[in-house]
Amino acid sequence: MNLPGRILVVFGSSISIGFGVWHFFVPNAWKWYSYIDGTATELVVAVRANNAFFSLSLVLFGIVNILLIHGGRSNKNSIIIMLAATSILWLTRVIFQLIYPQGSINAVLQYGMLLVFIVVDLCYMIPLWIMVSQKNSV
């Protein structure tokens, strides 16, 4: 992968990792559990598990993408597969932000989130497109 592609992947992955780490603290920061009936203990456990899985997934996808593009033994197909998976995940987040916007109480927050999600997705989509269109190996 060329240097601009590597820079984009590292940038997007760094944001993914940061977003994942930050999301571990979101339930307490935004008092998620105060909106759930105290007797709904299974719901609290489910929300906690989903958030942990989501947060860890973002961190791991970011780390794996960085390791693959800097790994001397990574092949073109493995990088393409990871970039495609990550691109689809972030594109899904962009679509959700368009259809079911979060942060709608503040336009700066709502559209700022959308902009960040689009930028991160492009950080994966552009190198993916470059790699798919290349005839030679990594």
Q: Single out the residue of 8, 2, 6 nearest to residue 123, CA to CA.
A: 8
Q: Note the helical H segments in 71-137.
A: 76-99, 107-133
In this structure, is residue 49 part of a structural domain?
A: yes
In this structure, is residue 34 part of a structural domain?
A: yes
The residue segments making up the domain with residue 119 are: 3-133
Q: What is the pLDDT of residues 38-47, one digit of tens each?
A: 899 999 999 9
Q: Confidence class of residue 1 from pLDDT cuts 50, 70 and 90? A: confident
How many domains does the chain fold into?
Answer: 1
Which backbone phi and psi does 131 adopt, to 5 degrees? -65, -40
Q: What is the pLDDT of residues 2-40, one digit of tens each?
A: 999 999 999 999 999 999 999 999 999 989 999 999 899
Chain-centroid distance of CA 2 in Å reads 22
Q: Are 128 and 87 in contact (CB under 8 A)?
A: yes
In this structure, is residue 138 part of a structural domain?
A: no
Q: Confidence class of residue 71 from pLDDT cuts 50, 70 and 90? A: confident
pLDDT at 25: 96
